């Protein structure tokens, strides 16, 4: 079974300011804000939700296909995907646009000032879910609004089960639109903040939302996650990382674990634990696609973490 990963591709430019923002921003002068931060530490990472999910799923020895729109500056990222044998046949290059760009400045207190240029991502609707492939499952992750809506419709029309994962794209949708996604999707996943926003915008409780899908997954950071399915709720424990280096991309790693479990017909207890472990491994490394492991190493750590195997 192959997985189609619909979502963003982006370059993450991460800068570190060796001081505190609060020492340089005057609260009573915010209306005339004009500040500059010296950032002696900088790095550029490959990111975007689709890229991150696919990278993690490939580590688990599955075959992800990324479907995304990118810009004329995509060549270095394309080379990276090729090095890791991640298929790019459904990635469309738009020569008049940039690939999505995230600029993240972090201070010594881990506060962040971010700017994001969506670029080619805004045209994700120019791609369509392929009808003549061996896609067995999909995910609709953060992307252009029209693209997310159309790809969900296409998965449903083709009878391909998929996960609805709006992530940071949640604010784009009103309650009616979110309910329609849930009517189309087989599974849905949100973090704790997004789940609160979902309830506020739809007027439904988590239990009511869970009735609309086969499984509703809520991630709770260091408190683990919860999977609502078949009228019950399964608590999935968090895996304590060896060290906390960078939480960016942990949610994407977790979602790759969900896809892996579904692709291999594992029950939700095992699927959730695989996802939890994958997120923990990611947090131990800087960037979203710099961690690596063999399946033997992953299964050994799973056994150490949960006292069982899969």
Q: How far apart are CA 135 and CA 103, in angstroms?
A: 33
Q: Mind listing the pLDDT tens digit for each residue in 180-205?
A: 999 999 999 999 999 999 999 999 99
**Chain centre distance of CA 241:** 19
Residues of the chain below pLDDT 70: none
pLDDT score for 269: 98
Return the domain boundaries, the chain: 2-18+43-300
pLDDT score for 298: 98
Q: Mind listing the pLDDT tens digit for each residue in 5-41?
A: 999 999 999 898 999 999 998 888 888 888 899 999 8
pLDDT score for 169: 93
* Cα dihedral 176, 67, 153, 124 sign: positive
Answer for the pair 11, 102: CB distance below 8 angstroms, yes or no: yes
Which of 96, 98, 162, 99 is CA-nearest to residue 129? 162
Phi-psi region of 147 (alpha: psi -120 to 50; beta: other; left: phi over 0): alpha
pLDDT score for 156: 98
As its CATH architecture, domain 2-18+43-300 has 3-Layer(aba) Sandwich (3.40)
pTM higher than the cut 0.85: yes
Contacts with 75 (C-beta within 8 Å, 6 or more apart), sequence order: none
Answer for the pair 116, 101: CB distance below 8 angstroms, yes or no: yes
pLDDT score for 28: 87
Burial 108-136 (b: 16+ CB within 10 A, else e): eeeeeeeeebbbbbbbbbebebbeeeebe
Percent of the chain beyond pLDDT 70? Answer: 100
């Amino acid at each position: 079974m192959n997985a189609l990963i619909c979502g963003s591709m982006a370059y993450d430019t991460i800068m570190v300011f060796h001081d505190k923002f609060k020492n340089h921003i005057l609260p009573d002068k915010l209306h005339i804000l004009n500040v500059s931060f010296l950032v002696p530490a900088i790095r550029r990472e490959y990111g975007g939700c689709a890229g991150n999910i696919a990278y993690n799923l490939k580590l688990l020895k599955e075959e992800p296909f990324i479907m995304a729109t990118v810009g004329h500056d995509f060549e270095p990222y394309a080379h990276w995907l090729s090095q890791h044998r991640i298929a790019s046949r459904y990635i469309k290059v738009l020569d008049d646009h940039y690939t999505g760009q995230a600029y993240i400045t972090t201070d010594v207190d881990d506060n962040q000032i971010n700017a994001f240029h969506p670029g080619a991502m805004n045209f994700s609707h120019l791609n369509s879910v392929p009808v003549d492939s061996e896609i067995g499952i999909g995910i609709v992750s953060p992307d252009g609004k029209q693209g997310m809506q159309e790809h969900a419709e296409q998965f449903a029309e083709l009878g391909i089960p998929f996960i609805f994962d709006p992530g940071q794209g949640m604010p784009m949708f009103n309650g009616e639109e979110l309910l329609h996604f849930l009517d189309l999707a087989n599974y849905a996943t949100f973090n704790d903040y997004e789940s609160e926003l979902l309830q506020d915008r739809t007027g439904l409780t988590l239990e009511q939302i869970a009735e609309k899908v086969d499984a509703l997954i809520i991630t709770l950071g260091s408190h683990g996650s919860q999977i609502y399915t078949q009228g019950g709720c399964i608590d999935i424990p968090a895996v304590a990382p060896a060290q906390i280096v960078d939480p960016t991309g942990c949610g994407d790693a977790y979602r790759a674990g969900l896809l892996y479990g579904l692709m291999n017909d594992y029950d939700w207890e095992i699927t959730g634990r695989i996802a939890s472990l994958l997120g923990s491994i990611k947090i131990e490394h800087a960037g979203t696609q710099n961690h690596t492991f063999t399946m033997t190493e992953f299964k050994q750590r799973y056994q150490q973490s949960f006292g069982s195997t899969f």
